[in-house]
Chains A and B, each alone.
Chain A
């Protein structure tokens, strides 16, 4: 309660503000000449006095002035200041012109408050809705690639509906979420995985992918916890604030119709060899595809040379019961031809209208996607409606609602699984004519395939084993704002994100892993309601001093329900119902609830509109933490100064200079039900007699959990030269996350294998820089260059006492870990055996398994982007290149692709054998260079196998041509009711200009969890080419 008292004191402080003697009441509204939108925060002062105020959110002001007053001064950064004679008027409206020399950027900050960017003491970066709708990525996070300094974006694949991960300023949480919070129109929305994560699963995308780029006015990226102290715990990894378009500023009715059509093809497929076909030891002859012929059960490509010789093959004609020998030839494009040209067609109709009292916007988007992977699709329908009304001149209300329906008949399987077709193509004999497999059933109903030992027919996988998804989502908010006096306003708001998501997974009978077929269905219901209120007192005390104080509170209610049912063996093939199970059905359900109550304040002192001090504080009460530890406070302090103004050093060379410093702390809670031990339910014994069972789970909860804290210090410098033709925005930050809530391993003899505790520290130190250059700027032609760069040094400082490694996830023999002294995300696996000098040690000419060690790390050293925008009259061209430098990844494609002899590198030594790199032990025990010749098959199978990871760990650096847009806007239409028509051609993910990893796109993952840096049969990323047409009526 002590903190509560402190908060109250702030309210009281507000109350002591002296009230002005009432003389003449002047009211008015200030708008921008640019777009007619109201200007909040404009300072209105009686000239020559300290009497003044600022305009509210709607641009309105109210000021009582002495009878003697004759002139009002209006000023706002970025606008030309104006003096207006009162001349006895009581209503003075004003349209302000923007100041060409100093264009103020207004950004949305915490709690949805718009502020001038120049007054902020922390790093913020914007991406305009125009950029987003030009880029037309279906997953809006992808559009940020290369645009935001310090945002690392990893798209998982080019399959429809695939998830994308975004991390700002490096990972900071060991076991928890490392992605920023997404806030749409002031209401947080869910960005979690939509079911199925990790290896051997279906990637159904991330929550933020439901945001429709057509509806986005602006995205603002608040990078550090400094920027986000007022959004609470989940903002400790930064916040992405999305403002949707409204009808504000529209005169009358405006209609926009737009269409985006694009075509997708694989960006990069492995480089396969085409010299040798299926088999092993150079021999192959097909009888039954499961070992009945010569090596015909083998899927690998160590068979005979593809020289046109005649060999019976899986698709050779059978004449008189005898399979005929047919030419043994390569099918160089067999994988490429398997993929189809995907397409995305998105059509949007938006109607907006407005008057001085109200405005509305309605938008409908229909998106149809067909994937490059055969028989995969995703359809989305987004309907959004928002509006606002000034009920009186003091009360305004606004509301927005968005409905999203996402539906897919089939999404492809991921990871190293028979359900992922790319897994098969890592193994498939190079002699296999894959497109010929399209007919996957023989006339007699039996399976038609090239191999019956290990693989499904890939078309069978995609046309019979269907993974569907259906999601209905509602996001909305309602807000009422009341202007109590000219300096005090308040709002109450409530909003939520509610969705239900149903996934089904069908496996057809005769599947290679589940011959009986199976069916699984899961349903998720998610609901988060945020209600908040905020009172803001803001006053221009005199010409130099501006004070503002906001105080408010919020309640966040979260609920989640999951239910699933499985028929693990179907009784009747082809009937996909949980009841149709030959074995006991497996059902599961769980629900969780969480509530967080918060009170917070934010105060600002501005001197001469050039020196700004911000203080924030927030106290959270979380239901997930134990009594006594569930209330926690976290503050922030920010100071920034525009030294060019303060020191009057404004010149033609340096026209703007600002320094900023900020310190912030953010507390976080944990998941519900992490405190007390429980019993889990087991499968039971003998479903018919229903002997139920329960057991003690492996993790021991903790009744004494405390909140974890992230502390961050940030310094920044912003410089603008030559009338803004050259700009620099640089930031240094140093953040540390301590007392992390993690499950650390404990002695199993305690009865549990792990326990939830507060321990560990991760630090992130780094720099971010953005450089803006405008080399040419004339009336008709302009050229803008934007460069961004971010380098992050991440370190796991400590884990719990006695814990040397924390496993984030593991697949096969490779583990992704947090290890003290190393950056988060070490790739930990087996090296090759080495001699004392560290050379690879061969035995009988072959390398073998060595020690377990750190082989790499998935975090990059630095990331950057280079954007060029050229405009000539109405023609515009944008080119975006981005890069990731440093960090490693493990490529399963290389491991099994070389083991199986399908990759280009395996041609080496096929005829004369291989002498492996490294040494061998001579008979006298000394180490001498290896000179034993082994076959290519022997060598590749020894060096590239699951038991060693080292040879398949690669530098994950890349440079990508991320985006090219070419657009033209027509705006002279005689006799047509069209305002403007714009056409643009867009290319996304166009080329991998440079990469070190072979065969795959280094931008890869299973999903958007913390387990990254692993490639297990990547579905290729998509190169997308298309066009946009947009008509404004």
Chain B
């Protein structure tokens, strides 16, 4: 009887020990096999979505079309006529904010981070231009917005979940400075810009985008700081070799949609199932 007992306890003890010690496989079991970790981000795969989702956001049905075209009465609707009648919809405003920041801005921020870490100056230049564009649209829409603390939710970036707001002025000055940096580093990197559905990897065209956008931002703040605007603009105009700008339609920062889902023009996609829009 004692032997049986002893054997019993040995078995229990052994099984218990095996069970308790088996947490060592847990890391492996709980590693997501479906999606890569953030550290596995690849610039050429981040870039196409960063460009397409940015363009989608600007030209999508709610912001570009209804808050844009319908608001200014270029188009009208026969159903859901809120924006037509200057009634902004909270959901549209919220969606614009969250989709620019989270759905699009975060991809650009990650592209910027990965290219900076790996010394990929061409990609970094592209990221700075995209970031400047998105941030300028956001601040033009909303005024003061989070910028310096935005997109820093990762623990390594400060784990900031409620970023502080920056003044529009400081954002404009930072973006203008960043675009200068972009212009300087674009073309200096040794890597080819792949996944570039906007300019097909042509860093010269990206420089033109950077400088033209920079000029737009300077012009927009010229009434507030005329001295700064004059100095900066004169510097750029005087030196077209250093500051090339868009001169022909081929230079346009224009994404040509492919005509079928999932890369269709968002307005065209909308028209496939809805017909409540009318031209005035």
Q: Using a CB-CB cutoff of 8 Å, which residues 164-183 of chain B contact chain A?
A: none
> For residue B262, which residue of chain A has the nearest CB?
A683
- Asked if A19 and B1 sit within 8 Å, CB to CB, the answer is yes
- Asked if B150 and A11 sit within 8 Å, CB to CB, the answer is no
- Asked if B45 and A678 sit within 8 Å, CB to CB, the answer is no
Stretch at the interface among A458-466, A588-596, A880-888: A588-596
> For residue B82, which residue of chain A has the nearest CB?
A947
- Asked if B32 and A678 sit within 8 Å, CB to CB, the answer is yes
- Asked if B153 and A583 sit within 8 Å, CB to CB, the answer is no
Q: Is A78 an interface residue (CB 8 A)?
A: no
- Asked if A693 and B20 sit within 8 Å, CB to CB, the answer is no
Report the separation of the CA atoms of residues A764 and B30 in the bound assembly, to the nearest whole angstrom.
32
Report the separation of the CA atoms of residues A34 and B36 in the bound assembly, to the nearest whole angstrom.
63
- In which size bucket is the chain A interface? 35 or more
Report the separation of the CA atoms of residues A597 and B31 in the bound assembly, to the nearest whole angstrom.
18
Report the separation of the CA atoms of residues A544 and B69 in the bound assembly, to the nearest whole angstrom.
87
Q: Using a CB-CB cutoff of 8 Å, which residues 657-703 of chain A contact chain B?
A: 672-673, 675-686, 691-696, 698, 700, 703
Report the separation of the CA atoms of residues A593 and B49 in the bound assembly, to the nearest whole angstrom.
29
Question: Which B residues touch A597, using CB under 8 A?
Answer: 19-20, 22-23
Report the separation of the CA atoms of residues A8 and B10 in the bound assembly, to the nearest whole angstrom.
11
Q: Is A643 an interface residue (CB 8 A)?
A: no
> For residue B30, which residue of chain A has the nearest CB?
A623
- In which size bucket is the chain B interface? 35 or more
Main secondary structure of the interface of B (DSSP, over half): helix
Question: Which B residues touch A752, using CB under 8 A?
Answer: 102, 106, 153
Q: Is A631 an interface residue (CB 8 A)?
A: yes
> For residue A533, which residue of chain B has the nearest CB?
B15
With A19-B1, A751-B151 known to touch, is A678 a contact of B38 (CB < 8 Å)? yes
With A513-B273, A750-B162 known to touch, is A686 a contact of B32 (CB < 8 Å)? no
Question: Which B residues touch A686, using CB under 8 A?
Answer: 197, 258, 263
With A590-B34, A673-B32 known to touch, is A553 a contact of B19 (CB < 8 Å)? yes
Question: Which A residues touch B146, using CB under 8 A?
Answer: 747, 749
Q: Is B88 an interface residue (CB 8 A)?
A: no
> Would you give the shortest CB distance from A576 to chain B, in whole angstroms?
19
Q: Is B161 an interface residue (CB 8 A)?
A: yes
Question: Which A residues touch B263, using CB under 8 A?
Answer: 683, 685-686
Report the separation of the CA atoms of residues A4 and B16 in the bound assembly, to the nearest whole angstrom.
8
- Asked if A693 and B49 sit within 8 Å, CB to CB, the answer is yes
Q: Is B145 an interface residue (CB 8 A)?
A: yes
Report the separation of the CA atoms of residues A849 and B177 in the bound assembly, to the nearest whole angstrom.
47
- Asked if A484 and B8 sit within 8 Å, CB to CB, the answer is yes
Question: Which A residues touch B110, using CB under 8 A?
Answer: 696
Question: Which A residues touch B109, using CB under 8 A?
Answer: 751
> For residue B264, which residue of chain A has the nearest CB?
A583
Question: Which B residues touch A678, using CB under 8 A?
Answer: 32, 34-38
With A677-B38, A679-B37, A750-B153 known to touch, is A698 a contact of B20 (CB < 8 Å)? no
> Would you give the shortest CB distance from B77 to chain A, in whole angstroms?
14
- Asked if A11 and B32 sit within 8 Å, CB to CB, the answer is no
- Asked if A750 and B160 sit within 8 Å, CB to CB, the answer is yes
- Asked if B27 and A696 sit within 8 Å, CB to CB, the answer is no
- Asked if A679 and B36 sit within 8 Å, CB to CB, the answer is yes
With A672-B30, A675-B30, A685-B263 known to touch, is A750 a contact of B163 (CB < 8 Å)? yes
* Interface residue from A593, A627, A753 paired with B102 (Cβ < 8 Å): A753
Question: Which A residues touch B72, using CB under 8 A?
Answer: none
- Asked if B26 and A693 sit within 8 Å, CB to CB, the answer is no
* Interface residue from B23, B41, B102, B197 paired with A694 (Cβ < 8 Å): B41
Instruction: Give 20 pairs: A residue, B residue, CB < 8 Å, sorted on A.
Output: A4-B16, A4-B20, A15-B5, A484-B8, A488-B8, A535-B12, A593-B29, A593-B33, A595-B22, A597-B23, A599-B19, A622-B26, A677-B38, A678-B36, A679-B36, A683-B263, A691-B197, A746-B161, A748-B100, A749-B101
Closest 10 CB pairs of A and B: A751-B106, A748-B98, A683-B262, A749-B146, A678-B35, A693-B49, A673-B32, A748-B101, A623-B26, A750-B153
Q: Enumerate chain B interface residues (CB-CB to A < 8 A).
A: 1-2, 4-5, 8-9, 12-13, 15-16, 19-20, 22-23, 25-27, 29-38, 40-42, 45-50, 52-53, 97-103, 105-107, 109-110, 145-146, 149-155, 160-163, 195, 197, 258, 260-263, 273
User: Beyond the given A583-B261, A696-B110, A747-B101, could you list 13 further A-B residue pairs with CB under 8 A, ordered by the A residue number?
Assistant: A11-B9, A533-B15, A569-B261, A591-B33, A599-B16, A599-B20, A623-B26, A673-B34, A679-B35, A685-B197, A692-B48, A749-B101, A750-B163
